[in-house]
Structure 1
Amino acid sequence: MGAEKLLAERDHVLVSFDGPIVGLPAAQGFADRLRVLIEDGGLPREVARTDDLYVVLAHAATIGPATARAVYAHLCRMEHELVAVARLVPGVREALAALVAAGTQITVVTALDAEVVRAFLVLHGLAEHVRHVVGRAGPDPAVLPPAPDLITLAVRERAFPAGSCGFVGGTRADLTAARAAGIEAVHLHRAPPQTPEASWFDALSAPTKS
């Protein structure tokens, strides 16, 4: 079964935000910008040297809830900056519209703050095609990527039977997570041509089974 047919025959399609919907630039310097807010009094070595912004955010939570909220709010502002310069993947708007017309519900899965992604979807005319967005909703370390896995979280939150779902990912890690959740997945393995007739579906790989 081809990728387009697989997705059109699913009741629910989960789509990773980074890759299949937008090409996000690298979040360079984000950890440094967060560290500035909490470096008074010194930092543990692993926090002072890491490029993993979630490690910095988790450390902020150990200082106190007010600090965690302030650092998280700053992270969200940086993510707004990031998506403001992100480019929409050619053909994705038409592809999502086609899936919705076939009766499929679309859920966007993201490691970013969910409200940041919702704002992007509205700005680019995609919100009308997307039923749900599953992403971060606050600074609680227990819900920061990679735990729990966002694909599993999306399925659990929405009570989707795994067999009724398909998933479109942008990385090998996406596909691994989808398989772990028992969901058949396809991979956007190349960027669609930037032409009016570009087909987003043509850039998808063959499906992989769990």
Structure 2
Amino acid sequence: MRVEELLTERDHVLVAFDGPVAELPSAGPRTDRLRVMVADRRLPRKVTRTGDPFVILAYAATIGPATERAVYAQLCRIEHEVVAAARVTPGVREALATMAAAGTQITVVSSLATAAVRTFLVIHGLAEHARHLVGRTGPDRTVLPPAPNLINAAIHERATPAESCLFVGSMDADLTAARAAGVDAIRHRRAATSPAAEPATPPPPPTPWFDALSTAAKG
């Protein structure tokens, strides 16, 4: 069976935002922008050295709820900036249209702030087919992949059994979360990065979205 048929025969396809839908740029020194908000006191070494924004967010919570809210709001603003600079994954529009035409429900799932992802889907004309979205709604890291919470929420919202769903993702944590929720998962291979070519060398043609899926990741 072709991968395209594997997806269109399912009642509900859950698609990770990072990779299958959007090619996200590096967030850059986002932890530096968060760290400066809690740097009015001596910081623990873990907070000083971390590249994980949720470590800084957890430390902000020890200072007080107002500081936690302020740091979380800044994290959401940074994510809006990152998503605004993202590119649409080649072929995803056509893939979503194909699945929607087959009657498949489509839900985009993301660990990023829900508002940032929704804005991207609307601006790039993807919300027409990916009408449902489950994203991060608060600072609780424990509900994010590899935990299955977001996948479970997507299944519950559409009232579809896990065996009728299929998940497409690029990140190991996302694929692990899907399997923990009892959902079959297929990996979307990210475009390989390589040194910049000479200006006269044309870029290679984009890989069609369905061709970038690996059925070997299913199960």
TM-score with structure 2 setting the length: 0.85
Letter in 1 for 2:72: Y
Instruction: Tell me the equivalent position of 1:206.
Output: 215
1:111-122 equivalent positions in 2, closer than 5 A = 111-122=111-122
Whole-Å Cα distance in 2 between the matches of residues 93 and 150 of structure 1? Answer: 23
Instruction: Tell me the equivalent position of 1:131.
Output: 131
Instruction: Tell me the equivalent position of 1:97.
Output: 97
- % identical aligned pairs: 64
Write the deviation string for residues 114-143 of structure 1: whole angstroms up to 9, x where unpaired: 110000101100111122211111224554
Write the deviation string for residues 165-201 of structure 1: whole angstroms up to 9, x where unpaired: 0111112333222222221121112449646xx6311
TM-score with structure 1 setting the length: 0.89
Contact 1:89 1:191 in 2 (8 A): no
Shift in Å, 1:145? 5.3
Write the deviation string for residues 54-82 of structure 1: whole angstroms up to 9, x where unpaired: 11112212222221111111111111111
Q: Bigger CA drift: 167-176 or 103-112? A: 167-176
Letter in 2 for 1:203: A
Shift in Å, 1:98? 1.1
For the pair shown, the structure with the greater C-alpha radius of gyration is: 2
Q: Bigger CA drift: 185-194 or 19-28? A: 185-194
Shift in Å, 1:151? 2.4
- Say what the alpha-carbon RMSD is for the aligned residues: 2.2
Shift in Å, 1:16? 0.6
Question: Paired residues, what number?
Answer: 208
Contact 1:22 1:88 in 2 (8 A): yes
1:9-48 equivalent positions in 2, closer than 5 A = 9-48=9-48
SS at match of 1:25: coil
Instruction: Tell me the equivalent position of 2:195.
Output: none
Unaligned runs of 5+ in 1: none
Contact 1:61 1:140 in 2 (8 A): no
Instruction: Tell me the equivalent position of 2:176.
Output: 176
Structure 1 outlier segments of 4+, above 4 Å:
144-149, 192-195
